[in-house]
């Protein structure tokens, strides 16, 4: 069975085509800068012998619809194609960012699902609108495939009330559903499953703290395989320090910026979402650059690293308290998988909680998943690769076989 996983952003489409018989990737790619005059499409077909055939296309006025038509043409191309016809694709799995309270599980897309995604659009205007565009366009380009929506928020729909409610007037929840939702759900679910496989313990018996540290970053407390708390909130702004997002701060900061600096809500939104986090603290949002500058003695870069890792450490402590017993702490995402220095700083001084990192295992970049804690510590510290597209494809297959 062939499944296409699609992640549609406001100006991009990322995709992977899987053969679910053995979960191999047949093709992967990304269309970027859509709706600009510099649209690009990079497409790689994978041959059975492991060789890759990459093609780069530049096209003015490439939009989502034209981009997906191009992708379909490349997938079915006579010489470099990996399938004969678009009808070979059984299903298209779409990442949908905000499912609100309506979706605890993936759903086969019909008009009522589209209506519910639209209802949640005010909670994530840019993301959900883009996801709906992807669904509409895929429906016309792959008319025989079943369309399935996989929600970033769904994994966190198991949060108990005390974890998802803000201490605001109840009416704001009753009328407007203002609460913590959490995001990166497919990633947290994916690495929780991989950690269970690695430890050879059923997920339903495991308590985990999963740390997705990429450009966006979030922490999740998982009890018996289910999410019970997570650091992102109504939107992905809350929680950990991120590449350009502030994460937690005093909710009164916007009042100050509005009253004393006369900034508009849009300007404040842009500061918190696009000019804060690592970028705000030291001018760089890419962790590799931050680490290089910090090593060279740049004081702002050092501060950014300190604030970033201190925040992660606080969440590890908080979620240890939430869970009582932690079986494993799981690092993932571009930073979590690659930055041994960041992992070491996040866990420094946590021996009292049973969290210790073996410096040699931590530096070993070769094998993933792997354990980086010494033998016989109560909390196993793991590094696991996240694969959101594969998780979307797996959930899509499960849904259409139900």
Are 41 and 88 in contact by the 8 Å Cβ rule? The answer is: no
Give the H or E element holding residue 207: none
Residue tagged active-site, from 19, 88, 152, 327: 152
- The distance from CA 124 to its chain's CA centroid, rounded to whole angstroms, is 15
Give the one residue of 40, 121, 146, 215 binding ligand ADP; rule: CB under 6 A: 215
* Cβ closest to ligand ADP, residue 221 vs residue 335: 335
Closest CA to 276 of 233, 236, 336: 236
Least Å from the CB of residue 335 to ligand ADP: 4
What DSSP character marks residue 120? T
Give the one residue of 243, 247, 277, 280 binding ligand ADP; rule: CB under 6 A: 243
Closest CA to 215 of 139, 293, 287: 287
Give the one residue of 176, 288, 325, 398 binding ligand ADP; rule: CB under 6 A: 288
Are 209 and 347 in contact by the 8 Å Cβ rule? The answer is: no
Listed in order, strand segments (DSSP E) in 277-375 are 328-332, 370-371
Binding region for ligand ADP (CB under 6 A) out of 33-41, 82-90, 130-138, 280-288: 280-288
For residue 120, with 0-12 CB atoms within 10 Å meaning exposed, 13-18 middle and 19 or more buried, which class applies?
A: buried
* Cβ closest to ligand ADP, residue 80 vs residue 313: 313
Kindly determine how many residues on this chain lie close enough to bind ligand ADP according to the rule CB under 6 A. 13
Of residues 344-373, those binding ligand ADP (CB under 6 A): none
Binding region for ligand ADP (CB under 6 A) out of 113-121, 166-174, 213-221, 261-269: 213-221
What DSSP character marks residue 105? S
Give the one residue of 287, 350, 355, 384 binding ligand ADP; rule: CB under 6 A: 287
152: annotated active-site residue: yes
* Cβ closest to ligand ADP, residue 215 vs residue 224: 215
Closest CA to 234 of 180, 184, 155, 272: 180
Q: Is 47 helix (H, G, I), strand (E, B) or coil?
A: coil
* Cβ closest to ligand ADP, residue 67 vs residue 216: 216
With vertex at residue 69, the alpha carbon angle to CA 64 and CA 74, rounded to the nearest 5 degrees, is 125
* Cβ closest to ligand ADP, residue 106 vs residue 216: 216
Distances (CA, A) of 237 to 246, 266, 270: 7, 14, 11
* Cβ closest to ligand ADP, residue 334 vs residue 374: 334
Give the H or E element holding residue 179: none
Residue of this chain nearest to ligand ADP (CB atom): 334
Binding region for ligand ADP (CB under 6 A) out of 92-100, 134-142, 298-306, 327-335: 327-335
Least Å from the CB of residue 27 to ligand ADP: 19
What is the C-alpha to C-alpha distance for residues 402 and 154, in angstroms, rounded to an integer?
Answer: 18
Of residues 330-349, those binding ligand ADP (CB under 6 A): 333-335, 338-339
For residue 127, with 0-12 CB atoms within 10 Å meaning exposed, 13-18 middle and 19 or more buried, which class applies?
A: buried
Does 214 engage in binding with ligand ADP (CB under 6 A)? yes
Least Å from the CB of residue 361 to ligand ADP: 17
Binding region for ligand ADP (CB under 6 A) out of 83-91, 284-292, 356-364, 374-382: 284-292
Are 235 and 241 in contact by the 8 Å Cβ rule? The answer is: no
User: Residue holding tokens 């191999």?
Assistant: 24
Least Å from the CB of residue 242 to ligand ADP: 9
Least Å from the CB of residue 340 to ligand ADP: 8
Which parts of this chain interact with ligand ADP (CB under 6 A)? Answer: 214-216, 243, 286-288, 291, 333-335, 338-339
Residue positions annotated with a catalytic role:
152
């Amino acid at each position: 069975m062939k499944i296409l996983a699609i992640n549609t952003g406001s100006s991009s489409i990322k995709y992977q085509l899987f053969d679910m018989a053995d979960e191999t990737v047949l093709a992967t790619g990304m269309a970027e800068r859509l709706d600009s005059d510099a649209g690009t499409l990079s497409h790689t077909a994978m041959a059975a012998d492991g060789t890759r055939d990459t093609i780069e296309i530049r096209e003015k006025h490439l939009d989502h619809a034209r981009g997906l038509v191009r992708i379909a043409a490349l997938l079915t191309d006579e010489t470099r194609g990996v399938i004969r016809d678009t009808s070979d694709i059984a299903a298209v799995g779409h990442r949908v960012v905000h499912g609100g309270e309506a979706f605890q599980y993936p759903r086969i897309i019909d008009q009522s699902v589209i209506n519910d995604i639209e209802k949640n659009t005010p909670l994530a205007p840019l993301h959900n609108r883009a996801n709906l565009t992807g669904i509409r366009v895929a429906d016309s380009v792959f008319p025989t495939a079943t369309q399935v929506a996989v929600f970033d928020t769904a994994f966190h729909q198991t949060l108990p009330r005390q974890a998802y409610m803000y201490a605001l007037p109840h009416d704001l929840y009753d009328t407007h559903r203002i609460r913590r939702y959490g995001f990166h759900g497919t990633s947290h679910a994916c690495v929780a499953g991989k950690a269970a496989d690695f430890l050879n313990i059923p997920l339903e018996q495991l308590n985990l703290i999963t740390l997705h540290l990429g450009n966006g970053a979030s922490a999740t407390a998982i009890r018996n395989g289910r999410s019970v708390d997570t650091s992102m909130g109504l939107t992905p702004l809350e929680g950990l320090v991120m590449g350009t997002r502030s994460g937690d701060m005093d909710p009164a900061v916007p009042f100050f910026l509005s009253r004393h600096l006369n900034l508009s809500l849009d300007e404040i939104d842009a500061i918190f979402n696009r000019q804060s986090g690592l970028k705000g603290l030291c001018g760089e949002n890419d962790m590799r650059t931050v680490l290089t500058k910090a090593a060279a003695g740049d004081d702002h870069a050092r501060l950014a690293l300190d604030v970033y890792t201190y925040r992660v450490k606080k969440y590890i402590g908080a979620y240890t308290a939430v869970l009582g017993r932690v079986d494993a702490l799981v690092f993932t995402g571009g930073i979590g998988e690659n930055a041994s220095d960041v992992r070491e700083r996040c866990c420094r001084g946590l021996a009292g909680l049973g969290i210790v990192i073996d410096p040699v295992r931590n530096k070993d970049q070769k094998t993933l998943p792997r354990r980086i804690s010494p033998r016989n510590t109560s909390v196993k510290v793991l590094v696991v690769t996240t694969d959101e597209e594969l998780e979307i494809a797996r959930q899509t297959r499960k849904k259409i076989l139900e």
